[in-house]
Structure 1
Amino acid sequence: MAYWWPSVCVLLLFGLLSAWCESSEQIDPFLMIWVDEIGAAEFAVQEYNNESEDDYVVLRKETVETKIQMAAGLMYHFKIRIKRTWCRKGETINSVCAFSYDTKICNFVVWAKVWLEGMHLLNYECPATWS
């Protein structure tokens, strides 16, 4: 009867080790949402640059407000202050690219399907004039 406890200890140790290995490979979901939030905001501004008829590149100055909705992925609702640069579209953007004084606050909706590593800009609204 005293011979069964070493087997139980080995099985228990194996179970704990396998559970520890599985949990150490997982990503914290809150960290993943935060990292995706930054990437989704940058993606929204990049898509705005692709779709807008402005001759100049705009960059994200700051994210004013973020709301996250879980719906078959993550739906990000951003209010982002964008700033126009002096770089024309088609030129190489580098650290020398200076900002102009023009800014505006735009609303963006980005749908991120984390498991497919894909993002889609669903909607954006920006005022017509720069301030």
Structure 2
Amino acid sequence: MARPLCTLLLLLVTLAVALSWSPEEDRIIPGGIYKADLNDEWVQRALDFAISEYNKATEDDYYRRPLRVLRARQQIVGGVNYFFDVEVGRTICTKSQPNLDTCAFHEQPELQKKQLCSFKIHEVAWEDRISLVNSRCQEA
């Protein structure tokens, strides 16, 4: 008689624990890839770095900046990997101008030259080291 009661209690405790768990309470596991908060200053810093490196690599005289971030993720490793999927547009500002982050986009879609880009950034904050690991863009 005691054995079925113990089994029932164990089942009830297991069920209670399972029902009380929610996805918002996910624990960060090293090596796992998670949604990144675009309001976080470290995430924003990595995105700014990706766009800066992208602009250095393009031969276009005009500065490009994000139209919208489609997805931002991060992975805790020996530092942090950031993964961004971004729609990038061409602005009316040349790269030599100051305050490029507020430059307006071209009005005409053919001049805006939208691209879909994926960036992978690796940052080791305690060594003050950040690098663009991978960058891939295609016309939107």
> CA separation in 2, counterparts of 1:86 and 1:92?
13
Contact 1:42 1:60 in 2 (8 A): no
Structure 1: tracts of 5 or more residues without a match: 1-29
> CA separation in 2, counterparts of 1:95 and 1:70?
28
> CA separation in 2, counterparts of 1:71 and 1:104?
29
TM-score (norm 2): 0.62
Amino acid across the alignment from 1:49: N
Q: Which of structure 1's runs of 4+ aligned residues deviate more than 6 A?
A: none
Match of 1:9 in 2: none
Identity within the alignment, %: 27
Offset of residue 97 of structure 1:
3.0
Match of 1:112 in 2: 123
2:137 to 113, 126, 130: 126
Offset of residue 96 of structure 1:
6.8
1:59 to 60, 65, 74: 65
Match of 1:36 in 2: 42
Contact 1:69 1:75 in 2 (8 A): yes
Structure 2: tracts of 5 or more residues without a match: 1-35
> CA separation in 2, counterparts of 1:114 and 1:75?
11
Amino acid across the alignment from 1:71: V
Mapped pair 1:70 → 2:81: no
Aligned residue pairs total: 99
